[in-house]
């Protein structure tokens, strides 16, 4: 208990899956949590559970692709809790299109949410972290940002760009004691991945070396480590949580 005591964390995509697990775990470890998601009903249930269990959290409906909404979220966080110590850019969407059959409208939507949303989050959180004298940003990428994955070109392109962006941001802000790291989950059973898992199960089993798939909590504990002062000498790093996929 208390690994994040006194810290304030913004977590996007906090309504379901990994984001919900991160929000609950952060609150258990003493953080004041600001959860955001486009799915407001599910988000408010997560916020209610955290508060009923003795944590402190607030939640906002939030389209991460909106610059105006990002400004509002950061301002609301500072108004309520006085600062921002941690940002987890967790919100994202999937895409199963190839380069040949992708419509540019879908390509742009994937990039807006999976990449530009993270850029906007950092843009408006960094000044508050500078005021606080330190900060930790965790960008949730994917093993698709490290290895090729057939049939997911828009998704892997965005996640690969997020990996590189995290390194550039880490270098830009290191002297100001702001750390930026990326996390690269493998097959994690979440509401986003479950619909596609049934047909692709043999493929996933071939590449996942452990005899089971990941759970949201498996990623949340890695994110907790990067958010905490235990990882104070880590920035620009990639934390891979993939059951051995990228070991091949």
Tell me, yes or no, whether 143 lies in a domain.
yes
CB 128 within 8 A of CB 143: no
Contacts for 232 with CB less than 8 Å, ≥ 6 apart: 179
Residue 245 in domain: no
Q: Is residue 3 part of a domain?
A: no
Structure confidence by residue, pLDDT tens digits, 96-119: 888 899 999 999 999 999 999 999
212: in domain? yes
Q: Is 248 domain-assigned?
A: no
Task: Tell me what percent of the chain is helix, strand and coil, each rounded to the nearest 5.
Answer: 50, 15, 30
Element containing residue 194 per DSSP (H, E): helix 194-207
Number of domains in the chain: 1
Other C-beta atoms closer than 10 Å to the C-beta of 160 total: 18
What residues make up the domain containing 29?
8-239
Known catalytic residues? 155
Mean local confidence (pLDDT), 38-55 = 98
User: DSSP code of 214?
Assistant: B
Strands (E), 64-134: 86-89
pLDDT digits (tens, 9 = 90+) for 164-219: 999 999 999 999 999 999 999 999 988 767 766 666 677 778 889 999 999 999 99
Residue 119 lies in a domain: yes
Can you give the CATH number for the domain in which 55 is found? 3.40.50.720
In a domain, 202, yes or no: yes
Let me know if residue 175 belongs to a domain.
yes
């Amino acid at each position: 208990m208390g690994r994040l005591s006194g810290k304030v964390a913004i977590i996007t995509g906090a309504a379901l899956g990994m984001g919900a697990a991160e929000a609950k775990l952060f609150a258990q470890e003493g953080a004041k949590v600001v959860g955001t998601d486009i799915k407001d009903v599910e988000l408010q249930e997560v916020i209610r559970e955290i508060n009923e269990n003795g944590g402190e959290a607030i939640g906002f409906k939030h389209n991460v692709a909106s610059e105006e909404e990002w400004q509002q979220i950061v301002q609301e966080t500072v108004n309520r809790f006085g600062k921002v110590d941690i940002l987890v850019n967790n919100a994202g969407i999937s895409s199963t299109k190839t380069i040949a059959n992708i419509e540019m409208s879908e390509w742009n939507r994937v990039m807006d949410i999976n990449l530009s949303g993270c850029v906007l989050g950092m843009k408006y959180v960094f000044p508050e972290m500078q005021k606080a004298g330190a900060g930790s940003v965790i960008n949730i990428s994917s093993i698709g940002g490290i290895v090729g994955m057939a049939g997911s070109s828009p998704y892997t392109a965005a996640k690969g760009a997020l990996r590189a962006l995290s390194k550039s941001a880490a270098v830009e802000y290191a002297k100001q004691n702001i750390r930026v790291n990326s996390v690269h989950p493998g097959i994690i059973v979440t509401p986003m991945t479950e619909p596609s898992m049934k047909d692709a199960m043999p493929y996933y089993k071939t590449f996942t070396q452990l005899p089971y798939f990941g759970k949201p909590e498996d990623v949340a504990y890695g994110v907790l480590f990067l958010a905490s002062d235990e990882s104070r000498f880590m920035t620009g790093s990639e934390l891979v949580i993939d059951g051995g996929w990228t070991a091949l």
